[in-house]
Amino acid sequence: MSKSPEIHNLNESCDCRCIHQERVDAAHEQALAAKDYEQIAALFKTLGDPNRLRILWALDREEMCVCDLALFLGVSESAVSHQLRHLRQLHLVTNRRKGPVVYYRISDSHGCRLIQLALERIREGSPSF
């Protein structure tokens, strides 16, 4: 049986107003700089696009050019270039030129590790979002 929205919301709030100052102080001491939160949010926003995730997943296995990625995704080369621009801005991918072809690859394993963690979470039966 599912709870009604009203009951669910009541369970998320305290029944009385009390401040645990030591917990608030500890949270302040452990808080990140505002810039860090902004950069983390930008990373998750970038990873929030399914095609960008597919690009990273593919590039984790092997470098590919825009033409390869466009065929893989079933979208235009222009659309792939747009997605790669976002990934490059956050240093998730890098490229190299070999003659007329530009190959893209993963900059480091951090982005793919985040994807792998998310995949493990959803495969363990966590609720859908």
* Under 8 Å between Cβ of 49 and 83: yes
Q: Give residue 10's pLDDT band: very low, low, confident or very high (50, 70, 90).
A: low
Distance CA 79, CA 122 (A): 28
Distance CA 75, CA 80 (A): 7
What is the reported pLDDT for 126? 60
Distance CA 1, CA 54 (A): 37
Q: What is the pLDDT of residues 13-43, one digit of tens each?
A: 778 888 999 999 999 999 999 999 999 999 9
What's the mean pLDDT in 78-101?
A: 95
Beta bridge partners of 98: 101
What is the reported pLDDT for 87? 95
Distance CA 40, CA 53 (A): 16
Q: Give residue 9's pLDDT band: very low, low, confident or very high (50, 70, 90).
A: low
Whole-structure pTM value: 0.76
What's the mean pLDDT in 83-112?
A: 94
What is the reported pLDDT for 4? 46
Q: Which domains does the chain have, with CATH numbers?
A: 33-123 (1.10.10.10)
* Under 8 Å between Cβ of 115 and 47: yes
Residue 2 has pLDDT above 50, yes or no: no
* Under 8 Å between Cβ of 73 and 80: yes
What's the mean pLDDT in 60-87?
A: 96
Sign of CA dihedral 56, 61, 65, 68: negative
Tokens of 33: 């700089």
Q: Give residue 11's pLDDT band: very low, low, confident or very high (50, 70, 90).
A: low
DSSP β-ladder status, 64-65 and 101-106: antiparallel
